[in-house]
Amino acid sequence: MKYVRLGQTGLQVSRLCLGCMSYGEPERGNHPWTLPEAASRPFLKKALDFGINFFDTANVYSDGSSEEIVGRALADYTRREDVVIATKVNSRMRPGPNGAGLSRKAIMGEIDASLKRLGTDYVDLYQIHRWDYGTPIEETMEALHDVVKAGKARYVGASSMFAWQFARALAVADAHGWTRFVSMQNYVNLLYREEEREMLPLCRDRNIAVIPWSPMARGRLTRDWDTTSARVETDDFGRSLYAKTADADRAVVEAVAKVAAGLGVPRAQVALAWVLQTPGITAPIIGATKLEQLDDAIAALALTLSAEDIAALETPYVPHAVVGFS
């Protein structure tokens, strides 16, 4: 495993981060395709065996059961000081006022709830799960600063939003001497490259770590275009990411298949290798519901795409509408 610094911090993370949205009790929340605890634990164990030390979850994943599963497994399989645990806050956790968002009340309540579910005294990276249009960014940044100063989080990060919003948040933190964001978890893959326009250059300029979600486009880049799965059939959010660009996206998927065939490797390795070779990317967040998917992810670390390969993969792309910010 390769390890890199998380942006401008001294924290070292594995070049791959295991995304844990797939691990949660199926009857909790709105992800019926998730793996229950007994089925999830082998993935967390295998990731650790491969040297992955970076794990990402969120309070909202499977109504908190993802945090519970991840926390118990990591406690059983490794030492707390040897792993980097990231979670998120913003999404609705209960009905009614103050049941979601990035107000001071919400942040202070949800960090304690997440720590309890994870079974730890602190998280290494506490991330805002999108932008909250209903709360002043000053309130959010001060609350996150206080979470860090209370020892409940080591660093704070952000997720998909407009570059101007992220720049504003960084400026607000700097102006007040508050803890600033060290990472951006945004949507980057061969089917969605809009982040190349502003967010990725901003992160490179400010030395912000980029830990993209869905680097293989929810599996669409790893299989024939018309192939379906249980997740595809039930993932309403996933469908919203691709519905308007089907013809262009099909051409990209076919390009991945052609390059993979030429290299004699699975498509998943090619799709992930492209993200890993994108300038400024720190650690893609990989998902796995089959153990061999972790094998492919590890193999992608050693796969170097040529300039010709990259051109073949990128040429079919057409501009997309901005998605993934809500």
Residues with Cβ < 8 Å from 305, sequence gap 6 or more? 259, 270, 273, 274, 277, 313
Asked if 221 contacts 269 with a C-beta cutoff of 8 angstroms, the reply is no
The DSSP element (H or E) to which 210 belongs, if any, is strand 209-210
CA angle at 185 for the pair 122 and 215, rounded to the nearest 5°: 125
CA angle at 84 for the pair 81 and 85, rounded to the nearest 5°: 115
Asked if 169 contacts 141 with a C-beta cutoff of 8 angstroms, the reply is yes
Buried-state track 272-309, b at ≥16 Cβ within 10 A, e below 16: bbbbbebebbbbbbbbbbeeebbbbbbebbebebeeeb
* Catalytic residue of the set 3, 23, 61, 126: 61
Instruction: Tell me the Cα Rg of the chain.
Output: 19
Asked if 153 contacts 179 with a C-beta cutoff of 8 angstroms, the reply is no
DSSP 94-142: SSSTTSSSSSHHHHHHHHHHHHHHHTSS-EEEEEE-S--TTS-HHHHHH
Residue 220 to residue 255: CA distance in whole angstroms: 12
Identify whether 242 is a catalytic site residue. no
Asked if 276 contacts 304 with a C-beta cutoff of 8 angstroms, the reply is no
Question: End-to-end alpha-carbon separation of the chain, Å?
Answer: 33
- Of 247, 239, 288, the closest CA to residue 21 belongs to 288
* Tokens of residue 255, six digits: 């390009």
Question: Which positions are catalytic?
Answer: 61
